[in-house]
Amino acid sequence: MRKFREREHAFLVEGADLVTAGMAAGLRPQLVFVRRGSAAHEAAAADGRLADVAVYIVTDRVAAKISTLEAPPDVLAVFPLPAAPPLYGLAGPGEGAASTPGAEATRGTGRAGAA
């Protein structure tokens, strides 16, 4: 699954609670799959946050193919991988080790623990 995450820059979330948590955290799903006939089917149709998201109603068989779980959940969603936050305090490109706090103590030793 990791190779797909890295290649597609996206990840699969399985289960209504986790999909809701992702959306509450500010992530917007790219795709949502809802099992036909489930309680989530009507809820997804009524959820205004999904108005501009591709929502696919799928059969149990298709949900089982998409899911990595033994018993596929009623809701699955594909979210984009969030951008990694910058590592504050570390040297940027071309800035060198001298601009990183504490880096001067390890320069030339070959080991960070030698300082």
Render pLDDT for 19-72 as a digit per residue (tens, 0 to 9): 999 999 999 999 999 999 887 766 766 677 777 888 999 999 999 999 999 999
pLDDT of residue 50: 76
Decide: pTM greater than 0.85.
Answer: no
Token readout for 29 is 């799903």
pLDDT of residue 112: 58
Q: How confident is the model at residue 107 (pLDDT cuts 50, 70, 90)?
A: low
Phi/psi of residue 75, each to 5°?
A: -130, 135
- Which architecture does CATH list for 2-80? 2-Layer Sandwich (3.30)
Token readout for 27 is 């992530």
| Rounded percentage of the chain residues whose pLDDT exceeds 70 | 71
Which residues make Cβ contacts (< 8 Å) with residue 36, sequence separation at least 6?
Answer: 57, 58, 59, 60
CB 38 within 8 A of CB 74: yes
CA Rg, the chain, in Å? Answer: 22
For the chain, what are the domain ranges?
A: 2-80, 85-115
